[in-house]
Structure 1
Amino acid sequence: MAAAAEDAEDGLAEAFWAVTRRLRHRTREALAPWDVTPGQSRALGVLIRHGALRLSALAEHLRIAPRSATEVVDDLEARGLVRRRPDPADRRATLVTPTDGGVRAGAAIHAARRTATADLFGRLAPADREQLARILRTLRD
């Protein structure tokens, strides 16, 4: 009986990781036209939703190290999607804000990611999607 339970757990984990890989692959394909990574896409989305943020606050939102946030912002800035400016409240600090092009790209990226996600999870009945979302939020929290 214990072996069967262990096999079931292994099967569950393998299925979870397979779905995760498929979602990552679809997300990368969806982001290809903008030449951004999923992390860069998430950062742009955070900046669009929250407005100008310090790098440290952006890192907190993304749950990454501040040094990693700097790299993400460097790449987005090189693409013209965000810009840095001095924080008027503290001239030693820098704020990051999306450019107009970044806002437009962010909206298109968001739509593409939603489509990729809907394509994957759209095979589930609405009640199953709701139950899966509830289960995943429980595991996340």
Structure 2
Amino acid sequence: MDDDLADLFLRAAKRMRHQQSERLAPFGLTPSQARALRVIVGADGPLRMVELADRLGVVPRSVTTLVDALEASGLVTRTPDPANRRSLLVQPTGEGRAVRERLHGIRREAAREVLAPLSAEQRETLRELLAVIDGREHSSPR
């Protein structure tokens, strides 16, 4: 039974990611790049690369690859950190902010499509169960 549950969970997550990837393709972004851009734009100011890695829950080397792609697309810039010249700060460009605004609903659209067969009550139950798995007692709707 648990194997079946794990398979169903993974297939649903994979389907959601696939839906998101299809919607991001016209922007030339992967889901990981879109997530990094969302975090960078949502920060209160420039982020150190290590802070970005921490917020994304990935190793710093992975962030370098993500930021390289975002920078090549003109969506972010990197500058030396004046407080620590060995660190780099990453911040969005005007174009990065504009793209992030256009991407705002893409993740929700993908989730909405995958979760469409569920009733509102079932979606709320799923939200509560996933919040327990995630370590939170209750997750408010986003």
TM-score, normalized by the shorter chain, greater than 0.5: yes
Structure with the higher fraction of residues in helix conformation: 1
Aligned to 1:43: 36
Query: 1:31·1:113 contact (CA, 8 Å) conserved in 2?
Result: no
Q: Which amino acid is 1:21 matched to?
A: K
CA distance in 2, matches of 1:49, 1:84: 16
Matched, 1:131 2:125: yes
Task: Single out whichever of 55-64 and 103-112 deviates more from structure 2.
Answer: 103-112
Aligned to 1:4: none
Aligned residues: 134
Q: Percent identity?
A: 43
Correspondence 1:68-87 to 2 at 5 A:
68-87=62-81
Q: CA RMSD in A?
A: 1.3
Correspondence 1:1-141 to 2 at 5 A:
8-50=1-43, 51-141=45-135
Q: Which amino acid is 2:10 matched to?
A: W
Structure 1 gap ranges (5+): 1-7
Q: Which amino acid is 1:62 matched to?
A: L
Deviation per CA, 1:35-69: give whole Å up to 9, x if none: 11111111100011113100000000011111110
Deviation per CA, 1:4-60: give whole Å up to 9, x if none: xxxx22221121111111111101101101111111111100011113100000000
Q: What's the TM-score once normalised by structure 1's chain length?
A: 0.88
Task: Single out whichever of 37-46 and 86-95 deviates more from structure 2.
Answer: 86-95
CA distance in 2, matches of 1:40, 1:64: 13
Structure 2 gap ranges (5+): 136-142
User: Based on CA coordinates, which of the two structures has the bigger radius of gyration?
Assistant: 1
Which secondary structure does the structure 1 equivalent of 2:105 belong to? helix
Aligned to 1:5: none
Cα deviation for residue 109 of structure 1 reads: 1.6
CA distance in 1, matches of 2:63, 2:30: 13
